[in-house]
Structure 1
Amino acid sequence: MKSIVHSTAAKLLVLLLLSLASGAQAQTQTTTATPTAYQRFNTWLMVFSDARLSNKWGIHTEGQLRQVKGPNSPQQKFLRVGANYYVANILVLTGGYANTMSYPDGNDSDVGGLPEHRSYQQVLLRFDSSRVMSQHRYRLEQRWVQHLGDKKFTYLNRFRYQLRLTLPLNHERKIAPGTPYVLASNELFVVFGRNDAGKFFEQNRACLGVGYQVNRATSIEAGYMNQMSQQETMSSLVAGHILHLGLNFNPDFRKGKLTMANN
């Protein structure tokens, strides 16, 4: 039975990797064929933390700097906070707030920043019964967005689904301290509501990368993300080629757990 599960999980990872590669190729072909499409090269620096406070509760914090030409030319600054409720080992519910500041064309001096406020609700499912760990993330967002040339905020609804798979690059069954691993993910964004401008698909993010588990609480990741997004004009597509660098810090403050993580 275990061999069947392991084989199925491995096939799932291979299929996702192939779909990401073919999707990136198709997106590049689309941008070449569409006159209004253009490509953008970015670097995203990210820090994530899920601090476990008790058996049921925890805190999520997240910060990102998305830059176009360098640290002095940001595309977007991002901060997210939330409260985690651990229903079970495989199920986590989260609700919280996010704030972003976007800069057109990565220039924060001429035009100024465009703020956005979000509330969000999230369901996270994790399965690690095989060497390939899968994570399903369902997120609903309520967004108040300020567009260029408009001082008023527009209300938007958005739904996101992400599938993320990780696989240890050694003979370990699970990712443990000192373990390198490979990761693959794909996230679909759709919008709905009276202000959706008649569109449904907003963007898709396909990612391939590698990571290293430093200790029980800390890991680092780096990889390539292909982002296909549809602009407000409905006729403009942006293919983003993104180098992402991430730090994950997930301390466990339950009795006895923090000492184990530090060791």
Structure 2
Amino acid sequence: MSITLWIVMAQTSAIHAQEVHGNPNVWYLLLANHHLTDQWNIGTELHMRYDDWMSDKEQFLFRPYVDFNTRKSPNVVYTFGYTYIKTFPYGDYPVAIDKPENNIWEQVTFKHQYGKLQVQHRYRLEQRWQRDIVYNPVDDTYSLDGNTFGNRFRYRLTLTQPLSDKVFINAFDELWIKGDKALRAITYDRNWLYVALGYHLTPDISLQLAYLHQYAMNNPNLYERHHGLQVTGSITL
């Protein structure tokens, strides 16, 4: 099924569901990577996300990875990574207590160049273990017990256009699709639209200031829109 068809299906479903506007987000992201050889690279991502203009902690993410390419196809990059996520109670529909998640993921990225315009197609498959939150009516408390396993597919189209030697525009659109452990119950998860103005402080360090729009499914009957700012720092070690 094509990406376009998935988007149409998601928008059609949303017509019959309630739509709410969530609080504005402010997200910070640090990207660090190190080139081991011309073919091998290691790196990590650190995310700190806030809700309602930094009034509440939203999520913390730690995402190390390793990627490689072959000499025959240097513009095709294969990546394997791990992500730890902690989601905090926030917003109008909060989780009861801090909720951890561990996932591993496999990814392939295709890179193209048209003049100065850089184009990337990124395909990622995640295997997710989310901790279950259970309620104890005896003492009116919540705790973590067990895990729920699921899969998620993500496709991202990224466009990067230099404006000068130091200034550039970076934009992407990313579609998320989630499924159960057998990949049978597949549903729309969310869509991200990101537009940033970037600046190279040095050849190895850059900053981006971006607008991020999220359209996420909270449940089949409730969709959320979020507007936000994201500050991204990238460093090559």
Q: TM-score, normalised by structure 1?
A: 0.73
SS of 1:133's partner is strand
Offset from partner CA, 1:103-153 (integer Å, 9 cap, x none): 12169xx94310000000111122224111111111110000124436221
1:66/1:77 contact within 8 Å kept: yes
Q: Say whether 1:115 aligns with 2:109.
A: no
* Counterpart Cα distance in 1 of 2:125 and 2:160: 24
2:214 to 209, 224, 227: 227
Structure 1 residue aligned with 2:157 = 163
2:26/2:54 contact within 8 Å kept: no
What are structure 2's unaligned runs of at least 5 residues?
Answer: 1-6, 135-143
Structure 1 residue aligned with 2:139 = none
Structure 2 residue aligned with 1:124 = 109
Higher strand share: 2
* Counterpart Cα distance in 2 of 1:40 and 1:167: 30
Q: Say whether 1:52 aligns with 2:29.
A: no
2:88/2:99 contact within 8 Å kept: yes
* Counterpart Cα distance in 1 of 2:216 and 2:208: 23
Structure 2 residue aligned with 1:256 = none
* Letter paired with 1:73: D
Matches within 5 A, 1:95-106: 95-105=80-90
1:76 to 59, 66, 70: 59
Structure 2 residue aligned with 1:237 = 223
In terms of mean alpha carbon deviation, does 192-201 or 124-133 score higher?
192-201
Structure 1 residue aligned with 2:68 = 85
1:167 positional shift:
0.9
Higher helix share: 1
Percent of counterpart pairs with the same letter? 25
Q: Say whether 1:250 aligns with 2:233.
A: no
* Counterpart Cα distance in 1 of 2:181 and 2:63: 26
Aligned length: 215
* Letter paired with 2:75: I
Q: TM-score, normalised by structure 2?
A: 0.81
2:46/2:61 contact within 8 Å kept: yes
For the aligned residues, what is the CA RMSD? 2.7
* Counterpart Cα distance in 2 of 1:36 and 1:106: 15
